[in-house]
Amino acid sequence: MSSGEHVPQGSLPSPPQITPADGRLAVLCVGLGAVGTTLIAGVESIRSGSDQPIGSLSQLGTVRLGRRDEQRVARIGDLVPLASLHQLDFCAWDPFPDDAFVAASRAGVLDQPSIERVGAYLRTVRPLPAVFDPSYVSQVHGDNTRPEDTHRQRVEAIRADIMTFMEAKGSARGVMVWCGSTEALLPDHEAYHSLEAFEAALDRRDRSPRLLLLSPRPPSGLLPRSASGAPALSTARLGRPRRAARRRPGRRATLSARISTVFGMVEVPAS
């Protein structure tokens, strides 16, 4: 559309309302290995002033405003209400009981002096028992796992973990980050095709534990939004475009957003 074209009044969508990033933010890490410990150690290194956030989009990233010849650039943090690093509290689940200091040392991603500088904080991050099935990650064998028989029981246990952590930290919001291993690629299954099949799968134990991360709901319906650092069938299949129960006109949402609505995970914009 050229600058001279007329735009009918009311045809443009209203801008989304972004809630201020107030209060503590719970960062729930699924996995406390190489990825999770590097994330936590990096954040603490920046908070303590021992390192700079080089390469961080949220901390140093910029965006161009207007035309290129206007040379107007603003920091993303000045335009979007992002939580500061000092507002973050880390929680994790992992099949190994090692705290973040031991796990980071074994992972070998960071050099030991860098780990030692934030060692006091890393030792305070101890993983909760994980929902784990070696059928999906055959090279990992740990005993820090949940004993429940069904996925639905495990969902309730995860929900209790989240509620306990957020209440202890006084968290106002939360975000879940998949930092675990890449799951084995398995054949597609009906559990990923509809809400009804998804809920039915929770009463069985034959589906990927990753499904459970789409289900728990923390206090007052504040289930975290989630990010993934590894591919999996459940994410790929649930992420295909489907019509959401609540959506803006002309917009489509993923099945994962629909499932999230059912379980109170994320807020899908209403029309």
Indicate whether 238 belongs to any domain. Answer: yes
Euclidean distance between CA atoms 180 and 31, whole angstroms: 4
CATH number of the domain residue 247 falls in: 3.40.50.720
Which residue segment(s) compose the domain that 125 sits in?
24-48+81-263
Report the relative pairing of strands 171-178 and 24-30 from DSSP bridges. parallel
Quick check: is 250 in a domain?
A: yes
Pick from 146, 144, 105, 142: which is nearest to 123 by CA? 105
Per-residue pLDDT at 166 exceeds 90: yes
pLDDT, tens digit, for every residue of 25-70? 999 999 999 999 999 999 999 999 989 998 888 888 999 999 989 9
Residue 86 in domain? yes
The answer to whether position 219 is within a domain reads yes
First to last CA, the chain: 25
Name, of 56-70, 93-107, 139-153, 177-191, the range with top average pLDDT: 93-107
DSSP state of 4: T
Question: Model pTM?
Answer: 0.74
SS (H, E, C) 80-113: CCCCCHHHEEEEEECCCCCCHHHHHHHHCCCCHH
Residue 147: CA count within 13 A, CB half-sphere: 0
Cβ contact 171:229 at 8 Å: no
Alpha-carbon distances, residue 168 vs 39, 133, 163, 200 (angstroms): 22, 29, 8, 32
At 73 the pLDDT is: 92
Confidence of residue 268 (pLDDT cuts 50, 70, 90): very low
pLDDT band at 266 (very low <50, low <70, confident <90, very high): very low
pLDDT attached to residue 217: 47
Alpha-carbon distance of 247 to 258, in angstroms, equals 10
The rounded distance, in Å, linking the Cα atoms of 31 and 33 is 6
The count of structural domains within the chain is 1
Could you tell me which residue, 184 or 253, shows the higher pLDDT?
184
**Helix axes of 100-107 and 34-47: crossing angle, nearest 10 degrees:** 110
- Number of Cβ within a 10 Å radius of residue 152: 17
pLDDT at 181 over 60: yes
Average pLDDT for residues 182-189, to the nearest whole number?
A: 71
Higher pLDDT, 221 or 7: 7
Q: pLDDT band at 89, cuts 50/70/90?
A: very high
Specify if 239 maps to a domain. Answer: yes
Residue 6 lies in a domain: no
In-domain check, residue 33:
yes
pLDDT, position 204: 66
What is the amino acid identity at position 37? T
**Per the domain annotation, does 147 fall within a domain?**
yes
